[in-house]
Structure 1
Amino acid sequence: MKEPCQYPSPGVIAIARRVKPGLEEAFEEATKGVILAASTFPGYMGSDVLYPLTKKGEWQLILRFDTAKHLQEWEESVICQGWIARAEALTVDGAKVMRVNSLEAWFALPEIPNALPPPKWKTAIVSAVGLYPVISTLPNFLRPITSGLPIWIASLVNISIMMPLMTWVIMPQVTRLFKGWLYPSQSKKK
């Protein structure tokens, strides 16, 4: 049977750091340098800087590449390693690094770190397996609370409960249940 056509998933990395007091301006310049350097690499799609609300808050840099492979090439480059060393001299507590691509966070398992995400057709099937019982039962369960509300507010209440439930309760369990199918090569190594 022929494998369905797959489009590569984008590679997105979010890096959070706390800047040493008095070095904010130097860190901002370093952040601009990272963005400029990353923009010269294949597949670079853009970036965002989220500034801290307070001086002791975290700076966050988000870099987007068209594929996880292009992101990996950037991360493994000598240029990136140089910028990491420079950032570490300006910050405290090390960096918090998170790689998340849309709903792929539902399929991340701590026992399989840094694994490439499963094919989208598999994630669609497993998402449906987890989502179907929730969307079939939750609105009925909440109907005594939401029946007198306008439909858009009732939908907002349902979604506000459904999404955290899917993210932190349902999908971690469903992903573990289907781990061997979603990550066949990594499951064989264990």
Structure 2
Amino acid sequence: MQSPAGVVAIARHVKPGYEAAFEEAVRGVILAASTFPGYAGGEVLYPTTKRGEWQLILRFDTLVHLQEWEESPICQGWIARADALTIGAPKVLRVNGLEAWFELPEVPNALPPPKWKTAIVSAIGIYPVISLMPILLKPITNGLPAWLTTLVSIAIMMPLMTWVIMPQVTRLFKPWLYPPEAKRSAHKSSNSNPN
């Protein structure tokens, strides 16, 4: 049986004035990770305010490949570089699949929403995009082969979903995705952890 996919989300507060250097470092991390077996993609979620958290999301096809990356000297070197540009310890969360879309800096340590809720909110975010995308892209993709039209749509849709649509939709549905009892449960479980 294959190991489940490995996704890690790392949130950091950048030292004032070091944003450009940190963004360059984050791009370097993604480039370095892309050379490792099983790499499936990476994104940067930019903070909503100057003092907000930057989030780096890396995806690997299996947990084993994610672990190989995280334990590599290359990864450790990038962590040391990022440490010099940030304040405090990073928040590291391992999630499964689309759960990475539902991480909000303003809801730290919350339990992930149930899969049925993430499916509904994902559909709400995706529906208008896939409905409008063919119409908006028609002048560009008209006459292209179907496979290339699909590729162009995906290349535009995924960054749009990751950096624009889903952060806004997730914030809109935050009270439903992260009810107060879920936050309390997460707080209680973190306090019960002896480490």
Relative to the length of structure 2, the TM-score reads 0.51
Give the alignment partner of residue 85 of structure 2, picking from 90, 110, 132: 90
Runs of 4+ with >4 A deviation: 160-165
Q: Give the secondary structure class of the aligned counterpart of 2:36.
A: coil
Q: CA deviation at 1:83?
A: 0.2
Distance in 2 of aligned mates of 1:162 and 1:7: 33
Q: Is the 2:42–2:58 Cα contact (8 Å) retained in structure 1?
A: yes
The sequence identity of aligned pairs, in percent, is 65
Query: Residues 52-75 of structure 1: CA distance to partner in whole angstroms, max 9, x if unpaired?
Result: 011100000000000000000000
Q: CA deviation at 1:7?
A: 3.2
Question: Number of paired residues?
Answer: 114
Who wins on radius of gyration, i.e. which is larger? 1
State yes or no: 1:58 paired with 2:53.
yes
Distance in 2 of aligned mates of 1:42 and 1:102: 18
Q: Identify the residue that residue 73 of structure 1 maps to in structure 2.
A: 68
Q: Is the 2:5–2:96 Cα contact (8 Å) retained in structure 1?
A: yes
Q: CA deviation at 1:33?
A: 0.4
Q: CA deviation at 1:168?
A: 3.7
Structure 2: stretches of 5+ with no match in the other structure: 100-113, 117-173, 187-195
Code of the residue aligned with 1:51 in structure 2: it is Y
Q: Is the 2:5–2:97 Cα contact (8 Å) retained in structure 1?
A: no
Distance in 2 of aligned mates of 1:70 and 1:46: 13
Distance in 1 of aligned mates of 2:175 and 2:76: 41
Distance in 2 of aligned mates of 1:103 and 1:47: 13
Query: Residues 162-190 of structure 1: CA distance to partner in whole angstroms, max 9, x if unpaired?
Result: 9768x949x99xxxxxxxxxxxxxxxxxx
Structure 1: stretches of 5+ with no match in the other structure: 1-5, 105-126, 132-159, 173-190
Relative to the length of structure 1, the TM-score reads 0.53
Code of the residue aligned with 1:38 in structure 2: it is A
Query: Residues 14-56 of structure 1: CA distance to partner in whole angstroms, max 9, x if unpaired?
Result: 0000000000000000001000000000000001100001110
Q: Identify the residue that residue 48 of structure 1 maps to in structure 2.
A: 43
Q: Identify the residue that residue 14 of structure 2 maps to in structure 1.
A: 19
Distance in 2 of aligned mates of 1:76 and 1:24: 26
Code of the residue aligned with 1:69 in structure 2: it is V
Q: CA deviation at 1:101?
A: 1.1
Q: CA deviation at 1:100?
A: 1.2
